[in-house]
Amino acid sequence: MSDLPSRVAIFEEGPREGFQTGPSVPTADKVRLIDALAGTGLAQIDCTSFVDRRWVPQMADAEAVAASVRARPGVRLVSLWLNAAGFLRALATPLDPAPMVLCSVSDALARANNGCSAAELVRKQGRLVALYREHGLRLEAAHVSAAFGCHVEGRIDAGKTLATLESLLQVCLEHGGLPEIVYFSDTVGAATPESVTELVVRARSRWPEQAFALHLHDTRGMGLANAYAGLRLGVTRFDASIGGMGGCPFAGNVGAAGNVCTEDLALMCEEMGVATGLDLGALAECARMAEAIVGRPLPGRLMKVGRLGRGAATTA
């Protein structure tokens, strides 16, 4: 009776989102986690971000991480940047460049994260798209931050999100072409299953040829419910974070509370017959490793409760 997709891709964001807040983590620990994650069946791992180290000292070792991680067939090791300078730094490393643009539906979030208004941030993406083109690279992803709301503006209406995306896609078109996929990012965890449904349905109606993905946070415990809403609509690509890393939802860190947990999302998918290609036991091991590295409990459940099994609960 299920009309869920038969297969989804879960992309790992933990090493970037998980290590960009809180105390800095030794480079060797980051590399160790990334290498372990690369053995779990993940097709893409976001390893680091090439951002200004004065603002994000936790990512000051981006080049060192990029130089140390082990390439593995079938696993794409990527990174994030926010501007041309970051892109050029990334391009000089062995990591695979995944050309992206971003916008923020929240003006407050754009000013806090990108130092300019939301409208200016959209305009700035034109230079990035042109730069990708100069390097013979095709734009892959467009990220729509605060797609469902933010901690300053509260809930954001889908109409505003679509209007922001419209202006971003226009800039992309003018400078080189449309992205292969658009991510709706629930940056602070403001979405509900119904707001996910509304936004995806309306976006598809507006751009029927465009692929959409979800980048969800579990700030308010609705992460998997929101993912389920996406699955019901046939969304087949999700960002997630091992152990649910990415800020600490238990510290009132609303702005950066944890991503939806990779292994818990994978478990839900697999148990509903949606193939992920992921090794749940290996992911649970990685989650325990991540927990040991950050030195505090992470919200992921699978690593603690294991899978249901005959005879006893297994340890995943």
Identity at 64, one-letter amino acid code = A
243 touches its own copies (CB under 8 A): no
Indicate the DSSP class of residue 96. Answer: P
Q: How far is the CB of 36 from its own copies (least distance, A)?
A: 22
Residue 225 interacts with its own copies (CB under 8 A)? yes
Count CA atoms within 13 Å of residue 87 on its CB side.
Answer: 19
Residue 159 as a binder of its own copies (CB under 8 A): the answer is no
The tokens of 182 are what? 């658009």
Cα separation of 185 and 146, whole Å?
6
Among positive and negative, which fits the CA dihedral 313, 237, 234, 215? Answer: positive
Classify 76 as helix, strand or coil: strand
Does 142 participate in binding its own copies (rule CB under 8 A)? no
Q: Give residues 34-63 in contact with its own copies (rule: CB under 8 A).
A: none
**Catalytic residue (choose from 47, 248, 261, 269):** 248
Among 157, 254, 277, 279, binds its own copies (CB under 8 A): 254
User: Interacting stretch for its own copies, rule CB under 8 A, among 10-18, 20-28, 78-86, 214-222?
Assistant: 214-222
The answer to whether 248 is a known catalytic residue is yes
161 φ, ψ (degrees, to nearest 5): -65, -45
Residue type at 152 in one-letter notation = V
Cβ contact 80:46 at 8 Å: yes
User: Is the Cβ of residue 131 or residue 265 nearer to its own copies in the bound state?
Assistant: 265
194 binds its own copies (CB under 8 A): yes
Q: Does 8 bind its own copies (CB under 8 A)?
A: no
Q: Is 142 helix (H, G, I), strand (E, B) or coil?
A: strand
Near its own copies by CB under 8 A: residue from 221, 234, 292, 296: 221
Q: What is the 8-class DSSP label of residue 246?
A: S
| Shortest Cβ 90–its own copies spacing (Å) | 32
To its own copies, the closest distance from the beta carbon of 139 in angstroms equals: 31
Q: Which of residues 260-299 bind its own copies (CB under 8 A)?
A: 261, 264, 267-268, 271-273, 297, 299
Radius of gyration of the CA atoms of the chain, in A: 18
Nearest partner of 81 among 67, 92, 68, judged by Cα: 92
Reduce the DSSP state of residue 231 to 3 states and report it: helix
Report the catalytic residues: 248
The site for its own copies (CB under 8 A) is made up of 1-2, 4, 149-155, 188-190, 192-195, 197-198, 201, 218-225, 227-229, 249-252, 254, 257, 261, 264, 267-268, 271-273, 297, 299-302, 304-306, 308-313
